[in-house]
Structure 1
Amino acid sequence: MSSDKAIRGQLLYFVDDPATAGEAAWVYHADGIIWIESGRIRLADDAQQVLPHLPRGTEIDVLEHHLLVPGFIDTHIHYPQTEMVAAYGERLLEWLETYTFPVESKFSDPDYAAEIATIFLDELLRNGTTTALVFGTVHPESVDAFFSEAQRRKLRMIAGKVMMDRNAPEYICDEAEQSYRDSKALIQRWHGIDRLQYAVTPRFAPTSSDRQLALAGRLLREHPGLYLHTHLAENPEECAWVAELFPHSKHYLDVYDRAGLLTRRSVFAHGIHLCDDSCKRLSDTGAAIAHCPTSNLFLGSGLFELDRLTERGVNIGMGTDVGGGTSFSMLQTLADAYKIQQLRGRKLDPFRALYLATLGGARALDLEDKIGSFRSGCEADLVALDLHATPFLKFRTARCRSLFEMLFVLNTLGDDRAIARTWILGEVAHSREV
């Protein structure tokens, strides 16, 4: 019996950005097969093209009324905030003080951190998310717990310890030099181990001193290949606060730039309120913005200028931003992304939306050669979307006249119920059928 595997159904994946490549950006097969060998994509093509090449005895998993897509990539999410999703009534800065800091203080307890990490990763897989860029807390225990559970599940995950040495309650702050030492130890313990990678993680500029930001830049220089993960220009009050705290910087992004934090692997969550110079620096350095529409609407932060950043060549991925975001579902996140552009008098078509949640996320994370597509050699992290997941979804998709329309219905009406299965390296990690 061959160890190779094959999955048959409708296939859709991206090879480029629809915003620039148009219809050449995606590949669709109404009857396709994904051939998986040793946890990687060997071939994804029309079924009649793949069948003659499959080794004798290859198991073929046939999924009718399902659309197979690469696993979703969440470019900004906070695992310690899992228990505070749907916390009522505040804007960003008040929300941090009222809800976030008290919840995050619990993560000095390794057992508690491990419990939440397990629940969090279960939710990601249940929603079809196979890779995420994840905030921990100031406690090294939070990162150890998260990476331990992710490693056990063979997941490709990126995470880091929060660096935060001022403008927050003392019980949740660290200290610049100790934060550097703790981060360095975590990097040596986890970065590059199996499918795990480390992100240097200052929470956002207001909660880090100049010294701490400089030490974050030092970590990036000392360990090539690390990520930088933080927040940027989410909320007008926050932007005004940054201007007061850093009067010698030209703008919010310049605070990070002066500390040496802009690299190809820097990911800045939100980026709603950006000047032209900020957009140019993001583009020039290859840094990325994680667009978090659900969170932006929930906290009243503003409307993301997707077209403007796209035109300026900025890498963009999608983020759920749980717990400011209210759903782990990337489909629900795409529904809110569409609504934000509608409020701006713009459009977000469903192909571009799905691109941002898959290959766009991989590009934002500098992982295009590994995830986000069904190209040969990519890691076999994928999702089966059930077009009959609910009676109404079955009714609605049966009346779709094109792939465009079917995708838009999925992006608008879909949620965790549409995720029939999630595969990690070709192995089923979640199934609604079980």
Structure 2
Amino acid sequence: MADLLCGQVLSFAGDPFDQGEAAARHLAQGAVLVEAGKIVAMGEAAALRAAHPQARVHDYGQALISAGFVDAHVHYPQTAIIASWGKRLIDWLNLYTFPEEMRFADRAYADEIAARYLDLIVARGTTTVCSYATIHPESVDAIFTAAKSRGMRLYAGKTCMDRNAPDGLRDTAKSAYDQSKQLLQKWHGQDRLSYVITPRFSPTSTPEQLAALGALWKENPACLMQTHLSEQTDEIDWVHSLHPQSRDYLDTYETQGLLGEGALYGHAIHLTAREKARLIEAGASLVHCPTSNMFIGSGLFDMDLARHLPVGLATDTGGGSNFSMLHTMAAAYEVAQLRGQSLHPAQLWWLATQGSARALRAQDRIGNIAPGMEADLVVVDLASTPAIEQATRRAETVWQQIFPTIMMGDDRAIRATWVNGTPLHEA
């Protein structure tokens, strides 16, 4: 039987970084018809009720129905260390990340954290993530198993490191290639799951390991490749000392076959002119991680890049300090303000949905409401707290209704989260 979700409906017919708010489509009394995990129709509620009298009706009143949030860069193994007292990137890795990731050799622990992480994000309206695992194949199996049981579309890969990491967290060029290939063959394309080739970043991979993973990506071009790029200035100096033959940070990947369409680079704050030009030319994607960038003092991302290449938005759990994409949108707005770039609410919402889906090369499946898209939806209460309600009561446009929730909303704003046509969370 079909389900009919009624409320305000927000979708996109274009890119608001190109077309402004005119790219968005808003129905004040709309509805979304869902059946067998897909969006069958969207339109005015009265017309869809009349056309589908047998559908189960879920009347969300004045709540906003949107595509579910897409978080394009996370480290699910860092769930338990989120909001640890801040350090610079290299300190963070040594003090918090590496000791915690050592625990993921234990499949039971990996299963526990994977389940906890997915439950936390679904309760905050996120329906898809692209996650780093640890070097342990067990950590990849855990997150894919948990996602499959929930019917989620999820991207993940084994994190590969063969230097500058503690004993127990290093593999080799050969084992990184072999284990990644085995996991790719096991999981990629199963249900809604996609494997992502995942070198952590150049400081923890030798050129030999990067080349091995570049070869694996060339053999499997349908997969994405994710890594980190130009997050902090001292990190960039470290990269130059480790790769003196390279022209710049991006070149450490480019020369090893790790630049092209389907490449996802997290952070990308301190880019040179050459790096920007090559990223645009290659059709790569960037992922903006504003809460993480501020929490560990990395810098301010240049959102003008979204006019030239795909840019997604991400919490960067657990360097990022919150699981919520609403909170992340607010941080993105504030970062842009500090750069003199004022982002419209349509652009913020796009980044958290269709923009991130586009970065993942999945814009034809997730991140928007349209017939044929997968039925991953979030229902957002635009008056979830007294402070937000008093602001939205004065609103004269839909964006004036939405913006207070972007800036002040939290998990209380999430009325429901639908994944693959099934309500996984209802407040």
Q: Give the TM bin, normalised by the shorter chain.
A: over 0.9
Residue by residue, what CA displacement relative to the aligned partner does 1:175-203 show, whole Å, maximum 9, x if unpaired? 11111111111011100000000001100
2:2 to 1, 4, 14: 4
1:310 aligns with 306
Deviation of 1:404 after TM superposition, in Å, equals 1.7
State the distance in 2 between where 1:188 and 1:416 align.
36
1:329 to 317, 321, 324: 324
2:177 aligns with 180
2:410 aligns with 415
Tell me whether 1:21 sits opposite 2:19 in the alignment: yes
1:362 aligns with 357
Question: Residue 371 of structure 1 contacts residue 379 of structure 1 at CA under 8 Å; is this kept in 2?
Answer: yes
1:257 aligns with 254
2:115 to 114, 118, 131: 118
SS class of match (1:371): coil
2:186 to 174, 186, 189: 189
2:233 to 207, 232, 236: 236
State the distance in 1 between where 2:353 and 2:23 align.
12
Question: Residue 15 of structure 1 contacts residue 359 of structure 1 at CA under 8 Å; is this kept in 2?
Answer: no
1:73 aligns with 70
Tell me whether 1:385 sits opposite 2:388 in the alignment: no
Residue by residue, what CA displacement relative to the aligned partner does 1:205-260 show, whole Å, maximum 9, x if unpaired? 11001110001111111123111011000000001111111112111111111111
Structure 1 unaligned segments of length 5 or more: list them: none
State the distance in 1 between where 2:2 and 2:341 align.
45
State the distance in 2 between where 1:148 and 1:263 align.
29
State the distance in 2 between where 1:28 and 1:413 align.
22
Residue by residue, what CA displacement relative to the aligned partner does 1:320-362 show, whole Å, maximum 9, x if unpaired? 0010001010000011111111111221111100000001011
Which consecutive segments of 4 or more residues in structure 1 shift more than 3 A?
A: none
Question: Residue 65 of structure 1 contacts residue 388 of structure 1 at CA under 8 Å; is this kept in 2?
Answer: no
State the distance in 2 between where 1:343 and 1:388 align.
28
Residue by residue, what CA displacement relative to the aligned partner does 1:358-387 show, whole Å, maximum 9, x if unpaired? 010111000011001111100000000012
SS class of match (1:119): helix
Task: Return the TM-score normalized by structure 2.
Answer: 0.98
1:91-240 correspondence to structure 2 within 5 Å: 91-240=88-237
Question: Residue 78 of structure 1 contacts residue 136 of structure 1 at CA under 8 Å; is this kept in 2?
Answer: yes
Distance 1:20 1:367, change over 3 A: same
Deviation of 1:395 after TM superposition, in Å, equals 2.1
1:34 aligns with 32
Question: Residue 176 of structure 2 contacts residue 213 of structure 2 at CA under 8 Å; is this kept in 1?
Answer: no
State the distance in 1 between where 2:216 and 2:70 align.
25
Deviation of 1:391 after TM superposition, in Å, equals 2.4
Question: Residue 303 of structure 1 contacts residue 344 of structure 1 at CA under 8 Å; is this kept in 2?
Answer: yes
SS class of match (1:171): coil
State the distance in 2 between where 1:211 and 1:71 align.
39
Deviation of 1:87 after TM superposition, in Å, equals 1.1
SS class of match (1:375): coil
Question: Residue 21 of structure 2 contacts residue 344 of structure 2 at CA under 8 Å; is this kept in 1?
Answer: no
State the distance in 2 between where 1:20 and 1:179 align.
40
State the distance in 2 between where 1:222 and 1:118 align.
32
In the alignment, residue 37 of structure 1 is paired with which amino acid?
Answer: E
Number of residue pairs matched?
A: 427
Question: Residue 32 of structure 1 contacts residue 44 of structure 1 at CA under 8 Å; is this kept in 2?
Answer: yes
2:266 aligns with 269
Question: Residue 166 of structure 1 contacts residue 173 of structure 1 at CA under 8 Å; is this kept in 2?
Answer: yes
Larger mean CA deviation between 19-28 and 270-279 belongs to: 19-28
In the alignment, residue 23 of structure 2 is paired with which amino acid?
Answer: A
2:48 aligns with 50
SS class of match (1:243): helix
State the distance in 2 between where 1:257 and 1:317 align.
21
Question: Residue 279 of structure 1 contacts residue 314 of structure 1 at CA under 8 Å; is this kept in 2?
Answer: no
State the distance in 2 between where 1:368 and 1:50 align.
25
Residue by residue, what CA displacement relative to the aligned partner does 1:26-71 show, whole Å, maximum 9, x if unpaired? 11000001011211111111224433432x4111111112001100
Larger mean CA deviation between 185-194 and 275-284 belongs to: 275-284
Task: Return the TM-score normalized by structure 1.
Answer: 0.97
State the distance in 2 between where 1:106 and 1:339 align.
35
SS class of match (1:149): helix
In the alignment, residue 360 of structure 1 is paired with which amino acid?
Answer: G
